[in-house]
């Protein structure tokens, strides 16, 4: 479960290095992408060039065209983890981007102050 920063320590990691490493292992073990919701094309003999990765009873499918084969158990683990991992990663990215914007604003203010001090000091 991702760490949640406290108001006193808002810059702590929301996603730990261990979580990132575990999610990377899941990504690397799953059937290679890209995955798509559209059925892959057929080859010259009429066979589908893709494999079903996941599906529902309503026949909604996810497909891939992996050159090295498919890994159903690893795909299931990846899909299950993605529901938790993706929102955490989005939160982390949004927080990092907000911090970058904050630092850029601070840098601009310092540069502006420096320019004023430098000009007034002449």
Q: What is the pLDDT of residue 13?
A: 59
Q: What is the pLDDT of residue 9?
A: 44
Q: What is the pLDDT of residues 21-68, one digit of tens each?
A: 999 999 999 988 788 877 777 766 766 667 777 777 777 788 887 766
Q: What is the pLDDT of residue 24?
A: 93
Q: Burial-class residue 81 by CB neighbours within 10 Å (0-12, 13-18, 19+).
A: middle
Taken as a whole, the chain contains a residue count of 122
Looking at per-residue pLDDT, the higher value among 115 and 100 belongs to 100
Over residues 83-107, the mean pLDDT reads 92
Tell me: pLDDT of 88 over 80.
yes
With a pLDDT cut of 70, the percent of the chain lying above it is 76
Tell me: pLDDT of 2 over 60.
no
**Burial letters for 107-119: b for 16+ Cβ neighbours within 10 Å, e otherwise?**
eeeeeeeeeeeee
From the list 57, 65, 23, 19, the residue with the least C-alpha distance to 40 is: 65
């Amino acid at each position: 479960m991702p760490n949640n920063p406290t108001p006193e320590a808002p810059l702590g990691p929301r996603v730990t290095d261990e979580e990132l490493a575990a999610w990377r292992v899941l990504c690397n073990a799953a059937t290679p992408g890209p995955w798509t919701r559209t059925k892959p094309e057929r080859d010259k003999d009429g066979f589908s060039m893709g494999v079903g990765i996941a599906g529902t009873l309503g026949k909604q499918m996810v497909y891939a065209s992996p050159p090295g084969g498919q890994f159903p158990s690893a795909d299931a683990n990846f899909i299950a983890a993605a529901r938790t991992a993706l929102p955490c990663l989005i939160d982390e990215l949004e927080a990092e981007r907000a911090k970058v914007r904050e630092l850029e604003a601070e840098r601009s203010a310092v540069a502006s102050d420096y320019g004023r001090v430098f000009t007034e000091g002449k």
